[in-house]
Amino acid sequence: MKRLSKTKKHVSGAYDDSMCATCVCDRIKCTFLIEEQKIPVKVSKAQAESQNMK
């Protein structure tokens, strides 16, 4: 990222036209990690329901 010029680092479109590429990358990583945290909760709920059915 450091080698790119300032105009190449800017991201436009769905990302509010005002966010730099690093900010977009950080937002994507944060969203991904939040979604990853939700998966074990869903799995544990599904296992609990399957045990209750038996």
**17 or 3, higher pLDDT:** 3
- Provide the pLDDT for residue 44: 93
pTM of full prediction above 0.75: no
For 25, how many CA atoms within 13 A lie in the half-sphere containing its CB? 6
What are the DSSP calls for the chain, one per residue? Answer: -TTS-HHHHB--STTTTT-BHHHHHHHHHHHHHHHHHHHHHHHHHHHHHHHHH-
Domain boundaries, the chain: 6-53
Tokens (6 digits) for 40: 């074990």
**28 or 14, higher pLDDT:** 28
Q: Angle 49-42-31 (CA atoms, 0-180°, nearest 5)?
A: 170
- Provide the pLDDT for residue 19: 74
- Provide the pLDDT for residue 4: 77
At 17-42, the pLDDT tens digits run: 677 778 888 988 999 999 999 999 99
